[in-house]
A and B are shown apart, each in its own frame.
Chain A
Amino acid sequence: MMRGAAAALVVLRKELADALRDRRTLATVLVSSVLMGPLVLLAISGLVATLESRAEQREVYVAGLAHAPTLRNYLERQTYTVKEAPADFEARLRSSKFSDPVVVVPDDFETALVRGDVPVVEIVSDSANQRSEASTGRIERLLGGFSRERALLSLALRGVSVQLLEPMQIEDRDLASTQTRATRITGMLPYFVMMAVLYGALNAALDTTAGERERGSLEPLLMNPAERWALVAGKWGAVACVSMLIAVLSSFSFLPGQWVLRSDTLAAMFQYGLREALLFLVVLLPLAAALAAVLMAVAIRSKTFKEAQASATIVVLAVSLLPLVNLFELGGEAPWHLWVPALAQNTLMTRILKGEDLGLAQVIVPLSVCVLLTAVGVWYVARQLRQAALK
């Protein structure tokens, strides 16, 4: 046993040195994982900032403004700047060159309004043009206000009490905390972190298994008196170390990433401090270890690195698709989510971002799943090793 552990350490040391010398691959993975945090945050904050500035601008585009002085008067009283829409607004909305919905007023708006003919006002947006779609609700509420005002005015003229028309008052009360609201925007961060961990493990895992077969170095390796489990344990340890390193780097990359937040609201909502980073690691490190073992188990069956890359696609696909269950919120959060690797980690990291505490049970379940996966993966590789060396 002692000798086995010593041999495992020898293998671990060599594999780590080997992996760290693969500079180009390592650099690609490192740069993408370390820069990823700030980049994703930058993109999100850019988006939020434009939405905010649009809301602050209080502008509304109207086509056929000249036919609707009453509407114009109302809009201006709501402190909106009313602008005439460009003539080709439909084409520009379609091609996403124009990012505001347009209110289209019919020619006979004013006369129909006076006669009580219920003129039709269109709000034109393109649901494929997300930025215009985002402001539609705001314009709808604005025009609704106009309708209500007209109705109230004409009823008041006829001596009807306003309370009769609005027998109840509606007020919004949002239960979500600032952080909970922020996860609607930062919800994809855990996903990116997990992909970084996966790709961190991928190359090293393939290199120590299929790569070793392809080079023809596995057969001589097995002609050493080291136990097979020790060889595999060492290899797994090295792969897990690389992937954990990526996990650490990408988790901490969000700390400086906060400085680049352009939107003040988002900066206030996105609470990611040392505590969150450490909790991320509690969730991610077991996953990194399990992914290392699973990828090795998949790759040991392949004779070449290339073949192994093809087989590993299944693992990559699973890790990228499972969290989508969360993203689409199919049936909300269910207890079984914690039993599914990748999905569980995504769920937990989302909770951390929401500022919720992790219970012991929530950590234990995914942890034991990861430990089990690791054990099975390492056992399988050890079992296949001799056969793999021969072919």
Chain B
Amino acid sequence: MIEVHGVAKSFAAPAPARRGFADAWRGLARQRKDERQKVHAVRDVSFTAHGGQITGLLGPNGAGKTTTLRMLAALITPDAGTMSVDGIDVAKRPREVLARMGVLSDARGLYPRLTARENIVYYGALQGMERDAADARAQDLARMFDMTALLDRRSAGFSQGERMKTALVRALVHDPANIVLDEPTNGLDVLATRALRESLRWLRTPAGGSKCIVFSTHIMQEVERLCDSVVVVAHGRTVAAGTVAELLERTGESDFEEAFVKLAFVPERAGEGGAA
């Protein structure tokens, strides 16, 4: 189970392009002076994701989905709010949290000189698994994601879809109870997307381990087809949460796309919808 309560994070605005030392120095001086303008990437995001369910984090580009998931993975320290995974506080025991979580992040680079299997086993070993166990698990997952033929090829020549599959298997190698996926369908073709959807559905079932799955996307068809519950994020806030049916009912729309646009793209509603 993943619980996120009222997290917020702001960053210093990116510095204007600098050329040369004099410019860089001036930039530094300016930064000290006015502490720089802040960009609020996440203002107030809350949601709860349960085991055996797929929770969709739906929001337009720049809504703060990736930042939220990075905070969940202890990569960024939030300015405010609390997060816990299976009751373990992310801020206090980040390593225990990471051991119970498989994260497919926005960046999903592989090591091109290693084979898919070596890429996967490396992460298994970093999770503290025995090499044999990690290897066996890689084999199992590869069968599930239909990539057995890829296992012993170097990842240098992989297609986008092959790379995604490898990265996904790599994130799942330690059989985590919680799975967090950041825009997993980016760059995948129809067949690969469909295969991924099937795999996620299976992971949700008791046979697949009743995983708690959170995935972020800006594609509502994904959400409609897959999610047990939806969290709509816009302008760094949770603006609505519920099942697809509940959200349709709440907005009085029959088309989910219309409902999403109504929820996510109306700036004035942003403040009210915070309660998830």
User: Taking the complex as formed, is B204 at the interface, i.e. its CB lies under 8 A from any CB of chain A?
Assistant: no
- Interface centre among A14, A219, A222, A225, by most chain B C-beta atoms within 10 angstroms, is A225
For residue A72, give the distance in angstroms from its CB to the closest CB of chain B: 68
Q: What 1/0 mask marks residues of chain B from 101 to 129 whose CB sits below 8 Å from any chain A CB?
A: 10111111111111000100011011110
- For the complex, give the distance between the alpha carbons of A225 and B103 in Å: 11
Option from A11, A21, A215 in Cβ contact (under 8 Å) with B126: A11
Known: A14-B122, A224-B123, A224-B127. A218 touches B107 (CB 8 A): yes
Interface magnitude class on chain B: 20 to 34
Stretch binding the partner chain, chosen from B47-55, B91-99, B249-257: B91-99
B95 touches A227 (CB 8 A): yes
User: Taking the complex as formed, is B167 at the interface, i.e. its CB lies under 8 A from any CB of chain A?
Assistant: yes
Option from A17, A220, A224, A225 in Cβ contact (under 8 Å) with B167: A220
Known: A10-B122, A389-B75. A225 touches B127 (CB 8 A): yes
B113 touches A22 (CB 8 A): yes
B128 touches A215 (CB 8 A): no
User: Taking the complex as formed, is B142 at the interface, i.e. its CB lies under 8 A from any CB of chain A?
Assistant: no
A220 touches B108 (CB 8 A): yes
Known: A217-B107, A218-B107, A222-B75. A17 touches B127 (CB 8 A): no
A220 touches B127 (CB 8 A): no
A219 touches B114 (CB 8 A): no
Q: What are the residues of chain B within 8 A of A22 when measuring CB–CB?
A: 113
- For the complex, give the distance between the alpha carbons of A10 and B70 in Å: 24
Give the number of A-B contacts (CB < 8 Å): 80
B126 touches A220 (CB 8 A): no
Interface of A is mostly: helix
B171 touches A215 (CB 8 A): no
- Interface centre among B103, B112, B122, B171, by most chain A C-beta atoms within 10 angstroms, is B122
- For the complex, give the distance between the alpha carbons of A6 and B122 in Å: 12
B125 touches A10 (CB 8 A): yes
User: Taking the complex as formed, is B76 at the interface, i.e. its CB lies under 8 A from any CB of chain A?
Assistant: yes
- Interface centre among A6, A14, A18, by most chain B C-beta atoms within 10 angstroms, is A14
Option from B70, B107, B126, B167 in Cβ contact (under 8 Å) with A226: B126
For residue B85, give the distance in angstroms from its CB to the closest CB of chain A: 12
User: Taking the complex as formed, is B181 at the interface, i.e. its CB lies under 8 A from any CB of chain A?
Assistant: no
- For the complex, give the distance between the alpha carbons of A215 and B114 in Å: 13
Please provide the chain A residues from 211 to 269 with a CB less than 8 Å away from any CB of chain B in the complex: 212, 215-227
- Interface centre among B76, B95, B111, B112, by most chain A C-beta atoms within 10 angstroms, is B111
User: Taking the complex as formed, is A92 at the interface, i.e. its CB lies under 8 A from any CB of chain B?
Assistant: no
User: Taking the complex as formed, is A7 at the interface, i.e. its CB lies under 8 A from any CB of chain B?
Assistant: yes
User: Taking the complex as formed, is B235 at the interface, i.e. its CB lies under 8 A from any CB of chain A?
Assistant: no
B105 touches A223 (CB 8 A): yes
Q: What are the residues of chain B within 8 A of A225 when measuring CB–CB?
A: 94-96, 98-99, 126-128
User: Taking the complex as formed, is B57 at the interface, i.e. its CB lies under 8 A from any CB of chain A?
Assistant: no
Residue of B nearest to A11 (CB): B126
- For the complex, give the distance between the alpha carbons of A47 and B258 in Å: 85
Residue of B nearest to A215 (CB): B109
User: Taking the complex as formed, is B164 at the interface, i.e. its CB lies under 8 A from any CB of chain A?
Assistant: no
A220 touches B171 (CB 8 A): yes
For residue B9, give the distance in angstroms from its CB to the closest CB of chain A: 11
- For the complex, give the distance between the alpha carbons of A71 and B24 in Å: 72
The count of chain A contact residues (Cβ–Cβ below 8 Å) is 27
A219 touches B113 (CB 8 A): no
Q: What 1/0 mask marks residues of chain B from 175 to 206 whose CB sits below 8 Å from any chain A CB?
A: 00000000000000000000000000000000
Q: What are the residues of chain B within 8 A of A221 when measuring CB–CB?
A: 126
Q: What are the residues of chain A within 8 A of B123 when measuring CB–CB?
A: 220, 224
Q: What are the residues of chain B within 8 A of A219 when measuring CB–CB?
A: 75, 105-107, 109
User: Taking the complex as formed, is B170 at the interface, i.e. its CB lies under 8 A from any CB of chain A?
Assistant: yes
Known: A220-B109, A220-B171. A18 touches B114 (CB 8 A): yes
Q: What are the residues of chain A within 8 A of B108 when measuring CB–CB?
A: 216, 220
User: Taking the complex as formed, is A3 at the interface, i.e. its CB lies under 8 A from any CB of chain B?
Assistant: yes
User: Taking the complex as formed, is A317 at the interface, i.e. its CB lies under 8 A from any CB of chain B?
Assistant: no
Known: A7-B126, A11-B126, A217-B109. A223 touches B114 (CB 8 A): no
A216 touches B128 (CB 8 A): no
A390 touches B75 (CB 8 A): yes
User: Taking the complex as formed, is A386 at the interface, i.e. its CB lies under 8 A from any CB of chain B?
Assistant: yes
Known: A10-B125, A10-B126. A217 touches B73 (CB 8 A): no
- For the complex, give the distance between the alpha carbons of A224 and B124 in Å: 9
For residue B240, give the distance in angstroms from its CB to the closest CB of chain A: 28
Q: What are the residues of chain B within 8 A of A10 when measuring CB–CB?
A: 122, 125-126
Option from A3, A11, A216 in Cβ contact (under 8 Å) with B109: A216
For residue B13, give the distance in angstroms from its CB to the closest CB of chain A: 14
Q: What are the residues of chain B within 8 A of A390 when measuring CB–CB?
A: 70, 75-76
- For the complex, give the distance between the alpha carbons of A218 and B96 in Å: 20
Option from A3, A18, A223 in Cβ contact (under 8 Å) with B111: A18
B75 touches A215 (CB 8 A): no
Residue of B nearest to A389 (CB): B75
Q: What are the residues of chain B within 8 A of A217 when measuring CB–CB?
A: 107, 109-111
Q: What are the residues of chain A within 8 A of B94 when measuring CB–CB?
A: 225
- For the complex, give the distance between the alpha carbons of A210 and B105 in Å: 19
Option from A18, A216, A220 in Cβ contact (under 8 Å) with B113: A18
Q: What are the residues of chain A within 8 A of B109 when measuring CB–CB?
A: 212, 215-220
Option from B96, B103, B110, B125 in Cβ contact (under 8 Å) with A223: B103
Residue of B nearest to A234 (CB): B126
Q: What 1/0 mask marks residues of chain B from 156 to 181 whose CB sits below 8 Å from any chain A CB?
A: 00000000000100110000000000
Please provide the chain A residues from 1 to 50 with a CB less than 8 Å away from any CB of chain B in the complex: 3, 6-7, 10-11, 14, 17-18, 21-22
B98 touches A224 (CB 8 A): yes
A223 touches B73 (CB 8 A): yes
- For the complex, give the distance between the alpha carbons of A224 and B75 in Å: 10
Please provide the chain B residues from 117 to 148 with a CB less than 8 Å away from any CB of chain A in the complex: 118, 122-123, 125-128
- For the complex, give the distance between the alpha carbons of A3 and B108 in Å: 25
B98 touches A223 (CB 8 A): yes
> Can you list 15 pairs linking A and B with CB atoms under 8 Å apart?
A11-B126, A212-B109, A217-B110, A218-B109, A219-B75, A220-B108, A220-B123, A220-B167, A223-B105, A224-B126, A225-B95, A225-B96, A225-B99, A225-B128, A390-B75
